Structure 1
Amino acid sequence: MRKIALAVAAALAAVLVVPMSAGAATACAPVDWGSGQKTVYTGGGGYVTDIRSGQHECFDRLVIDTHLADGSYYVSYTDEVTHVGSGEPVPLRGGAKLFVMAYSPSYDQDFVPTYQPANPSEVVDVTGYQTFRQVAWAGSWEGTTDLGLGVRARLPFRVLTLPDRIVVDVAHRW
């Protein structure tokens, strides 16, 4: 009886694995993402406290941690990301460039820095990421923090706002 129960359980597991695998593939398809500009502005505020990244099965993620931010942002593909103030180009690796602006500066109300990257050319280490090639500092000026995000190709992305953070996800494929 025990052998029959194990055989039935194994057969059932084999049948259930196929639909789960197919479902996992469709879960990676970004249905409502796109490569067009995404922006939300509700007045700005707060300040940047950290910038970090992560890898997921279907996308790479950039996270801008803020303090009391309202989630205002502007993210768009561009031919050139430039440093605020000087207008000098920000060198970026990859086949496409995303300009990422958080309407939160990297300094407080007394102009004391709240976030300064150790290496402006490599704000976070994205070595080995499937889509991200480089995250570079473009400056913080007049209430914003600007970044250049070098990606493998012009791929769909989304922007999410969570309490005290702005999240940019770029898909691994269309």
Structure 2
Amino acid sequence: MTKTSAPISQEATDTTGTARADAGLTPLGDADTTMKTLRPEPSSQLVVTGVRLGTHEGFDRVVFDLTGDGAPGWFIDYNDRPVQQGSGFPIEFPGDSALEVNIDGTTYPFTLGIDPPQIGTTVGPGPIVAGVTSSGSFEGRTQFVIGVNGGKHPYSVQTLDNPSRLVIDILRR
């Protein structure tokens, strides 16, 4: 996983923050269907403040906006039956496959003196991503499930800076 500082252009999004299909973006990184993991920086204290989705020629993009200090880690993999961390309750998600996203190096919003973001479930924009469901934070990890249509698709994971974001590109097969 390569870290890059290329921002997502404001011209590539509409007024809701959803990427336009005609923005001409290309996928970041190398995509496949295998598990992806990276440890966070030891002193990271980040909060996921929002989720943005976009559809582009050949792929859908999910962007997790972050605030705080440090760089995130992650544990991301397809999971047939995702469950909520801490409780073990099943997580309902749109679509027919679940790409479970665990963002590491996170903290509770009150630690940073900010109000808790109200993320919930974000409806997907394109043929691949049906939606993203937030499952909350627990012990330094914030959990989401990306509901994917059409089975398991190759995906890549990248971080971007200024502002800090975790970007997942999911390719059409």
Bin the TM-score by the shorter chain.
0.7 to 0.9
1:105 Cα deviation after fit: 3.5
Counterpart for residue 6 of structure 2: none
Deviation readout 1:63-89 (Å, 9 max, x if unpaired): 111113403111111111111221100
Higher strand share: 2
1:114 Cα deviation after fit: 3.6
Runs of 4+ that moved beyond 2 A: 27-32, 42-45, 110-114
Q: Which amino acid aligns with 1:138?
A: S
Higher helix share: 1
* 1:61 correspondence with 2:61: yes
Counterpart for residue 80 of structure 2: 79
1:113 Cα deviation after fit: 4.0
- Pick from 108, 133, 143: which aligns with 2:140? 143
2:168 and 2:76 map into 1 onto residues whose CA distance is 8
* 1:94 correspondence with 2:95: yes
1:105 and 1:58 map into 2 onto residues whose CA distance is 34
Larger radius of gyration: 1
Counterpart for residue 132 of structure 1: 129
- What is the aligned residue count? 142
**Unaligned residue ranges in structure 2 (runs of 5+):** 1-24
- Normalised by the length of structure 2, the TM-score is 0.72
Question: Per the alignment, in what secondary structure is the counterpart of residue 152 of structure 2?
Answer: coil
Question: Per the alignment, in what secondary structure is the counterpart of residue 60 of structure 2?
Answer: strand
Report the aligned-residue RMSD: 2.5
Question: Per the alignment, in what secondary structure is the counterpart of residue 46 of structure 1?
Answer: strand
Counterpart for residue 50 of structure 2: 50
CA contact (8 A) 2:132 2:146 kept: yes
**Unaligned residue ranges in structure 1 (runs of 5+):** 1-26
1:29 and 1:147 map into 2 onto residues whose CA distance is 21
